[in-house]
Structure 1
Amino acid sequence: MKIISFFSWRYIPALGLLILLSACSDDQTKPSKASIIQGQTLPVYANNAGVQIDVRDFLVETSQLDSITATHGLVIEKRSEFLYGVLFGSNDPFVNLVTLWTDGVRNDIPFIKKDEMTASLIYDGDAENVQIKGEFTNWSLQDLKEEDGERYYLATIPKGNFQYLFVENGVEEQLDPNDLDVVSNGMGGYNRLLRNTPSKKAPRLSLGQITEDGFTFKANEKLDQLYVLYANQKIEVQQDSLSYKVDLPKVDFTNRNNKTQLVRVYGGNLSGIANDLLIPVQDGKVVTDPDQLSRTDHHAQVLYFMMVDRFLDGDPSNSSKVDDPEVLPQANYMGGDLAGVLQKINDGYFEELGINTIWLSPITQNPEGAYGLWPEPRTKFSGYHGYWPVSNTKIDDRFGDRQLMQNIIAAAHERDINVILDYVANHVHEEHPVYQNNPDWATDLYLPDGSLNTERWDDHRLTTWFDTFMPTLDFSKPEVVEKMTDSALYWMTEYDLDGFRHDATKHVPEVYWKTLTRKIRQNTDRPFYQIGETYGSYDLIRSYLSTGMLDAQFDFNMYDSGVSAFAKADKSYSNLTQTLAKGLDYYGHHHLMGNISGNQDRARFISYASGDVSFDEDAKAAGWTRDVMMSDSTAYDRLGMLHAFNMTIPGVPVIYYGDEYGSIGANDPDNRRMMKFDDLSERELKLKELTKQLVDLRRNSISLIYGTTEIVSESNGMLFLRRTYFDEVTMIFFNENPISFNVVKKPGDDVAVKTVNAIESKTHYQVPAKNFAMVQLKNKK
């Protein structure tokens, strides 16, 4: 059994003589007028070649733009009315600012130069036809280059580990799992591994103390660049050696759409980019109590995703199955509707669970008939899921009507709960009038070589059809972009929605997302959260995250690592740790990515954890061919560990309906069983209670919402994470073996200690094997 001892926290030494740190050559005047850009300007990532920006992504009225400046000699080139090139030199620092000036007011955008390396991956086999695919190609096949008889591929990657495969004659190469350069792919096979491990660690920033006028922070080594942004405006920093003091200026925030303003800190040096800091501020004071936050503070969200048809039948009068003997019951409508959602809002179900954002599956009208065919045991499908729209604005008759939807939003808002809607833009059903009247608005169902253009997720991702009855829209046509963005805008203007979950994000080109986001900002100033669904590489996922497109995407890479660590019981958290670190590097240490407990396209986590669904089988076939049960109740503890992980890492936790108690099932549609509210087993009730406790800790811990993240240690079947926000520290342990630890207080400390899932005896704590524990320390002074 491991013994860990630590003190509650460390104090920053008192600041001595303060020196003004000037990290920028342009105007240093303190701002008195707030930035006109609502929300936070997400960092722009670029390589040495630079990047192109569109000022319409940032400014609702581009006529307000006076000029653009940049730091450290970055070159700005005007290329058209709205487009500007930002060019980097090879020796330019990692962290920079580009400033849009509007009537003398600065609007600052962080620019991060990618810290990358290029490696030559040499193929040493003798196959005639060889290609490569990997995380750095978005798993699409790429041809090799040949020079002097050597076949190779040049891969450019940031720091971290990246998986790939050489593909010989169309067949994946078989790899020796004992080779040090291979890693499990999580599905029973192996991939090669390309590693970029920097020789030096990047600098680290940590929070210090809250002061009367602001706060302090420090760095562990000298910084060459440092920028502090207050609601998108650079402000002054006072420096004393490696310690820094920020006094918040007085700014007129009457034009801002949220009470909370965010302070962000970015820094770096030749060793790399430091972790960013995020500090919420209200009325000129640093926020210390989560009760000060509201549903419009997106970092404080906890999402709950429900498939409407499978949640609750609140109005049996609108229940109607597809009358087709070829549709098995699992693939037919089960009666859930908007009335059921409203009932559970009014019953307080979501409030009791601690949820402050509910995500509804698509509610637009779907076809009346059956489509598709699963070969064995031969069944067609209904549109119960909502992803086959025949209208983009009409609510499906089986779900309810306009008034019900308005009542849901009003009831949710009364309880300080957001409502976001799942919207499908990529495709329509073949019965949709858009396709019926404009068949040329769809991409081609057949490729030039005559092959069917269906499920070509990577090599033809912007044109592929999901099925032969689901035309993918051709967004290269401006009229299609206008029509579909207007249809999405309808939901935002006609209903007081708080955001969208966007289906099939990577299959829709950037022009759609930019146009939609621009229209949203032109039509409302309320905070609006947009999160996308993309399976693919980190670069592909991040390419949709920007001030002009989406706020976040679901982190499926993180989920896959979580499944491997917690459901497979690998006895090692190494891959999970690497994935967490890579995500922080890619998306920032305070991102809004969705950390899911499961979704409608994967077998239930708990059924993998119990062994009732095997990792090396077709999980969808398993749902059709046998009745998946629960054979190992320790799977509930495993799911509890995943919930704990999601609730404590940066990002937005997302609970897939039923995962609060451990709904079982193989893949679609077995993972979409009807929700249970009553007659839960003892283990289900216990997990539901634990989930409520974890959500409560997340919602009421400022360190878990805005704190810094440290991977303190990972070895021998134990992972130790620490989240810190000024005088609040939350420590999280995940362990395969039993552990115990002590909390040692300094003399004079007045510290409140809160624990979850740990056996407590005064200052000594124990955690059983294959479990987790959280300990939170907070200074009560």
Structure 2
Amino acid sequence: MATTGERVRRGLRACSLALLVGSCTHDEAPDGPPVRDCTSVVWAWPSHPSASVQIVGSWDDWASPGASMLEREDGWRVLGLDLPPGEYGYLVVDGGSAQLDEHNPLTSFRASDGREVSRLEVDDCGVPALQVLPDQVRVDAAGLTISALFLAVQASAQLDPGSVQADLQVDAAAPEDGTIDLSSPPLARGRHGFELHAKDLAGRAAQARVSVFVDPIAPSWADAIIYQVVTDRFFADDGLPLAAPPSPGARAGGTLGGVQAALESGYFEALGVSALWLSPVYENPLEPRLGTDGRLYEGYHGYWVADSRAVEPRIGGEQALRSLIDVAHARGIAVILDVVPNHVYETHEIVAAQRANGWFNEHPSECVCGTPSCPWATNMQDCWFAPYLPDLRLENGDAMNFAVAELLWWLDSFEVDGVRVDAVPMMPRAASRRIVHAVHNHTAPGIDRLVLGEVFTGSGTPGVAGLRHYLGPGGLDSVFDFPLMWALRDVLATDSAGFTTLDALLGHIDAQLGSGAVLARMLGNHDVERFVSTIIGDAHGDPWDQPASQPDGVNDDEARALDRVALALTLQLTLPGMPVIYYGDELALAGGDDPDNRRVMPALSSLPPARAALLERARTLGQLRRCAPALRSPHRQTLHVGQSSYAYARLAEDGGVAVVLISRADEPQAIPLPGTDILSGTFVDALGGGTHELGAGAELVLGPRSAMVLLPVGDPCSP
């Protein structure tokens, strides 16, 4: 464990060396506790060694020429800003050109002209603080240990040891150096939240939050399999199957209790699932509303946010959500909430209270997204999803702070493990970065909570570029890999492309986003037609009058369709990334365009044999991924690629290996494999195809529309 002096020096090094804006959280007093220092330090690398660099900001109404940055011997420019507590905007002026601070991912918008500027938030150093660094929180079989640091207002304002309060054992509280050590005996499996409180001798209070997950199934999000649930369409209380809703846009009656029943039955664990993504749980309006297609819809999906701090009673309310989270956590399964910072329903209290204060994007006439008068191309970030869904203008600082605070309320109130952020491209990028910063810094260690963004893109390289814009330092933890989703459909659903195209796309994604990028990879979701219906080719009929047919494998065409779904699941669950299974994809649930793609989950006992077999294949693949480190690693090596066949190796850091072979052809295919030290010896097909010898000149024959996942003989995950 680091000593106090080491932690102080580490903090000072962060202030003097970190290439981003921030506050030096404390200073090292020669005699006494560490003292808060709210000086903000801005760094810049000049465009030319002789360039003059200044900082201009909102603290003096953007007065020019601004404050000159000091030149260091190593060429960097630096400036310390001593400002009163509050939020500020600033720009770096390099050689007369004002620009964003490239080392600070956080931005806001200047009120006078809407220009995006770098954002600076200065704490109040007139009150003490409790600092808990991520590496000072440890949880293992022996229990939880936390090392906190009390940062004083001044050297004489020491920690009052008797004021330290937490639902933990206080092992030490040292006024002379501000260290506080806390611990607990072994904790039950699940997430546990703690509030730490302390005061100085003058009674000034400080607090910090800690939240830890004990023994999760997936130790990191790179190891996770996420299951997406549309709660209203899943199961009723006690896991009872639902009847189809009276119309495709109506509520079906699914509940959080139905999700919990499936959880308690072991359904998710059988699929290898380690996290549940719940559709929005906000309270939604009772009344149905007209869609742009003239049909009536209800808020069964949860995206019409009438109250952003209430759980929808019709899915079970607050107690049902708490119960579901508790049961999931007790099984090591994380829970992700779908959050909606982009808009609210028209009856939400802030509409009447804040509309006159510029909180919403207003237009001279109705601007509904995607309509002729309000096209996506020009109005992506200010259009309204519907006339009754006012769009928050997050360029307004108060509106942005509201959206972030509402999201943090759910984290604090329900101890969830992450959020899926809706409609990311419909908001300024500043919004998603503020959300990431807030989630990761609101509690310690914080970085274990996932911020997964919905960045809906098209296919190919333009789609990859769209994802890249929201990743990187300060960006989202993960995004949905829509380009791969479209490519999987081209290769396995419509045959409009071959595996050569898929392999090239995977290489491009690795090059552009990093081979270690943890992308959320899915076959579909609640906004696109179901994978199996794309294969059948009847996905675009009217959901009310001509819904997609449900293939059950009772004839050759239907059997072929289910085989193709099995191949898609094989790719999804054996490629690098974080698989996201949309409810029902594991059993080829059909569905056309929204809302036909949100049918009720069928009773598992009534599945026809071919779809029951597909579910078993999905379970086998999910369990394989959970078991085999090679299938969760970021490393993939192409071994063979053709128009109709594909083979690749997955390599673990510990030397483990898995080999995946896939053929979409309707006749047997011979696949040559190169021999290497790693890819030599006897391997077992974990999908039930017996043993195979690999080495120089090896060639394996795949049957029609089939796959193999090969593991070395003796591998603990092999059958």
- State TM-score, norm by structure 2: 0.65
Q: Closer, same or farther in 2 for the Cα pair 1:577/1:446, shift >3 Å?
A: farther
Check whether the contact 1:567–1:606 (CA below 8 A) recurs between aligned residues: yes
Q: Distance in 1 between matches of 2:220 and 2:591?
A: 34
Number of residue equivalences? 530
Q: Distance in 2 between matches of 1:346 and 1:331?
A: 29
Structure 1 residue 740, shift from structure 2 partner: 4.2
Q: Closer, same or farther in 2 for the Cα pair 1:63/1:669, shift >3 Å?
A: same
AA matched with 2:536:
S
Q: Partner of 2:275 in structure 1?
A: 357
Q: Distance in 2 between matches of 1:733 and 1:34?
A: 53
Structure whose residues are more often helix by fraction = 2
Structure 1 residue 457, shift from structure 2 partner: 2.5
Q: Distance in 2 between matches of 1:75 and 1:609?
A: 62
Structure 1 residue 411, shift from structure 2 partner: 1.0
Q: Return the match for 2:342 from 416, 419, 426.
A: 426
1:412 has 2:333 as partner: no
Q: Partner of 1:49 in structure 2?
A: none
Structure 1 residue 595, shift from structure 2 partner: 0.4
1:564 has 2:564 as partner: no
Q: Return the match for 2:234 from 298, 308, 311.
A: 311
Q: Closer, same or farther in 2 for the Cα pair 1:721/1:402, shift >3 Å?
A: same
Structure scoring higher RCO (CA < 8 A, sep ≥ 6) equals: 1
Q: Partner of 1:541 in structure 2?
A: 467
Q: Distance in 2 between matches of 1:644 and 1:35?
A: 50
Q: Partner of 2:405 in structure 1?
A: 486
Q: Distance in 2 between matches of 1:448 and 1:297?
A: 45
Q: Partner of 1:768 in structure 2?
A: 703
Check whether the contact 2:494–2:534 (CA below 8 A) recurs between aligned residues: yes
Q: Distance in 1 between matches of 2:219 and 2:543?
A: 41
Q: Deviations over 1:698-721 (max 9, x none)?
A: 111212212422223322422222
Q: Deviations over 1:256-292 (max 9, x none)?
A: 56889xxxxxxxxxxxxxxxxxxxxxxxxxxxxxx99
Q: Distance in 2 between matches of 1:453 and 1:587?
A: 34
Structure 1 residue 743, shift from structure 2 partner: 8.3
Q: Return the match for 1:678 from 589, 602, 605.
A: 605
Q: Return the match for 1:329 from 228, 231, 247.
A: 247
Check whether the contact 1:660–1:688 (CA below 8 A) recurs between aligned residues: yes
Which 5+ residue runs of structure 2 have no aligned equivalent? Answer: 1-5, 12-17, 27-35, 59-75, 79-132, 142-213, 458-462, 552-556, 694-698
SS at match of 1:304: strand
Structure 1 residue 254, shift from structure 2 partner: 4.5
Check whether the contact 2:282–2:310 (CA below 8 A) recurs between aligned residues: yes
CA radius of gyration, larger in: 2
Structure 1 residue 500, shift from structure 2 partner: 0.3
Q: Partner of 1:15 in structure 2?
A: none
1:583 has 2:583 as partner: no
Q: Closer, same or farther in 2 for the Cα pair 1:692/1:627, shift >3 Å?
A: closer
Q: Deviations over 1:691-741 (max 9, x none)?
A: 011111111121221242222332242222222124212222222342346
Q: Partner of 2:683 in structure 1?
A: 753
Q: Closer, same or farther in 2 for the Cα pair 1:337/1:680, shift >3 Å?
A: same
Q: Closer, same or farther in 2 for the Cα pair 1:74/1:698, shift >3 Å?
A: farther
Q: Partner of 2:428 in structure 1?
A: 509
Q: Closer, same or farther in 2 for the Cα pair 1:695/1:312, shift >3 Å?
A: same
1:387 has 2:303 as partner: yes
Check whether the contact 1:446–1:453 (CA below 8 A) recurs between aligned residues: no
The more displaced of 590-599 and 443-452 is 443-452
AA matched with 1:348:
G
Q: Partner of 2:171 in structure 1?
A: none
SS at match of 1:330: coil
AA matched with 1:361:
S
Q: Deviations over 1:342-381 (max 9, x none)?
A: 1121222111221000000001011111112464xx5310
Structure 1 residue 78, shift from structure 2 partner: 7.6
Q: Partner of 2:573 in structure 1?
A: 647
Q: Closer, same or farther in 2 for the Cα pair 1:505/1:716, shift >3 Å?
A: closer
Q: Deviations over 1:36-71 (max 9, x none)?
A: 89xxxxxxxxxxxxxx98545999999598897999
Check whether the contact 1:430–1:469 (CA below 8 A) recurs between aligned residues: yes
SS at match of 1:562: helix
Q: Partner of 1:659 in structure 2?
A: 585
AA matched with 2:330:
E
Structure whose residues are more often strand by fraction = 1
1:734 has 2:650 as partner: no
Q: Partner of 2:652 in structure 1?
A: 725
AA matched with 1:422:
D
Which 5+ residue runs of structure 1 have no aligned equivalent? Answer: 1-31, 38-51, 83-97, 101-251, 261-290, 322-326, 614-618
Q: Partner of 1:191 in structure 2?
A: none
AA matched with 2:322:
Q
Q: Distance in 1 between matches of 2:546 and 2:49?
A: 61
AA matched with 2:427:
V
Q: Distance in 2 between matches of 1:345 and 1:582?
A: 37
1:298 has 2:179 as partner: no
Check whether the contact 1:728–1:779 (CA below 8 A) recurs between aligned residues: no
What value does the CA root-mean-square deviation take over the aligned residues?
A: 4.3
Q: Distance in 1 between matches of 2:23 and 2:647?
A: 40
1:500 has 2:419 as partner: yes
Structure 1 residue 399, shift from structure 2 partner: 1.0
Q: Distance in 2 between matches of 1:574 and 1:354?
A: 29
Check whether the contact 1:729–1:777 (CA below 8 A) recurs between aligned residues: yes
Q: Distance in 1 between matches of 2:389 and 2:250?
A: 18
Q: Distance in 2 between matches of 1:620 and 1:59?
A: 59
